[in-house]
Amino acid sequence: MAARRGAARGAVSGHGLAPPQRPGQDIKQVPGLGYYKFHANAQTWLAARHTCTKERAHLLIVNSDDEFATVKSIWDNYPNLFQDWRNDYVHIGITDLAEEGNFTTMFGEPMNMTGYARWGNGEPSHGKAANCGRLSRTGQLFDSYCTNVLAFFCEQ
């Protein structure tokens, strides 16, 4: 009973994690790694970030090969989301909005501290026009227009 009341209060006050949803083709929970939920309902980077915050989660930040393999295993359940280039990318929680050219996680952590600074060839390459990050199905990072409407993962 106490836990249930606490959860209800948490939902109002914004504290604590949302109750995990049941694992399925869009959700995976890996002990010691994290909880990942795929959103096939594509949004802009900022909207996606907000959606994750509402779930008491954050936009995916890849920290290891294991983590990429985990989200890829979910992503593989959705091979045909779009008929164009967007099919191959998801938003990721990195940005250079604070300082052009200096990508960090959205929490300000330098890329070389993430454990996964695997940029695509020549990336980031789009300068002031592209200040958000996207991840390819092949596991590479790209700078990206924040207004791109892409699928995304939330991570807890």
State the pairing for strand pair 150-155/89-95.
parallel
According to the binding rule CB under 5 A, does residue 51 interact with Ca ion? no
List of E strands, the chain? 27-30, 34-43, 58-59, 89-95, 104-105, 132-136, 141-144, 150-155
Looking at the DSSP bridge assignments, the partners of residue 132 are 95, 144
23 residue type, one letter: P
Minimum distance from residue 8 beta carbon to Ca ion (Å)? 28
Rounded Cα distance, 86 and 100, in Å: 24
Minimum distance from residue 111 beta carbon to Ca ion (Å)? 13
Minimum distance from residue 143 beta carbon to Ca ion (Å)? 5
Tokens encoding 55? 């779930």
According to the binding rule CB under 5 A, does residue 134 interact with Ca ion? no
According to the binding rule CB under 5 A, does residue 95 interact with Ca ion? no
Q: Which of 9, 126 has the CB closer to Ca ion?
A: 126
According to the binding rule CB under 5 A, does residue 131 interact with Ca ion? yes
Minimum distance from residue 71 beta carbon to Ca ion (Å)? 9
According to the binding rule CB under 5 A, does residue 57 interact with Ca ion? no
According to the binding rule CB under 5 A, does residue 61 interact with Ca ion? yes
Tokens encoding 95? 């940005």
Site for Ca ion, rule CB under 5 A: 61, 63, 96, 131
